Amino acid sequence: MLFDLIESPNLADIIYLDIMMGKTNGIDMAKKMRYHGCKAEIIFLTNSEDYVYEAFDIAPVQYLLKDSTTEGKFEQVFLKAVSLSANKKQEIIIFEADGISQIIPLNEISFLEIWKRIVEVHYSNGKSDKFYRTFRKIRGRTQG
């Protein structure tokens, strides 16, 4: 999963991490994800109290202990993460093809190909669209 998030850092909106993960720990993994631009809401769900203060550097939604987290608390934290994720400003690209403007959230784009002013947008779901435009005329903005 870390490799997927390095290539597409905004692939996930909410990530649950444990602290003890074999050769690495959840804190180190979260730091790597943040370094690569991951803006997902992170929730630590673990048995270890040892990293609670270090977790503040990652800005998680919550640091939950498995043994003392009730189902109600778990749901409350999850809903908070959903709300935070939904309220984030979204970066978009606007383009016009055949007289119709289209808005594409950047987090849905895997990559763009441009060949002789034909721009092909490749989405993370495997689909693609083509339109005629110079790269300079593609407008990006933030909405939210």
**Quick check: helix, strand or coil at residue 41?**
strand
For residue 11, pLDDT over 80 is answered with: no
The better pLDDT of the pair 133, 127 is held by 127
Q: Is 84 left (phi over 0), alpha (psi -120 to 50) or beta?
A: alpha
pLDDT tens per residue across span 57-87: 999 999 999 999 999 999 999 999 999 988 7
Neighbours of 79 (CB within 10 A): 10
CB 31 within 8 A of CB 50: no
Per-residue pLDDT band for 88 (boundaries 50, 70, 90) equals confident
pLDDT tens per residue across span 17-63: 999 888 888 999 899 888 887 888 999 999 999 999 999 999 999 99
Task: State what percent of residues in the chain have pLDDT above 90.
Answer: 38
CB 143 within 8 A of CB 90: yes
Domains and CATH numbers, the chain: 2-86 (3.40.50.2300), 90-143 (no CATH)
pLDDT score recorded for residue 53: 94
Amino acid, res. 2: L
Question: pTM score > 0.75 for this model?
Answer: no
CB 133 within 8 A of CB 119: yes
